Amino acid sequence: MDSSTAYILKVFLISGGLAVAIKYAAPYFSISASTGIALTSVWLPSVIVAIALGWRARYSNPL
């Protein structure tokens, strides 16, 4: 199995595991519906990825 196939398989399995965890574990947590929580849940993943990519770009060696 080459590296790109293994990577895609890992992403698929992690995504599926996360989906199952959200489906079955989320009802046990009582989270009130509010605008702040909705905005945080929508924007937080994008902000985390932007920080990670910015950090990676800052410390990567230029070609």
What value does the mean pLDDT take over residues 29-36? 86
Question: Where exactly are the structural domains of the chain?
Answer: 3-59
Give the model's pLDDT for residue 63.
61
What pLDDT band is residue 62 in, cutting at 50, 70 and 90? Answer: low
Task: Give DSSP secondary structure letters for the chain.
Answer: --HHHHHHHHHHHHHHHHHHHHHHHGGGS-----HHHHHHHHHHHHHHHHHHHHHHHHHSPP-
What value does the mean pLDDT take over residues 32-41? 90
Predicted model pTM: 0.53
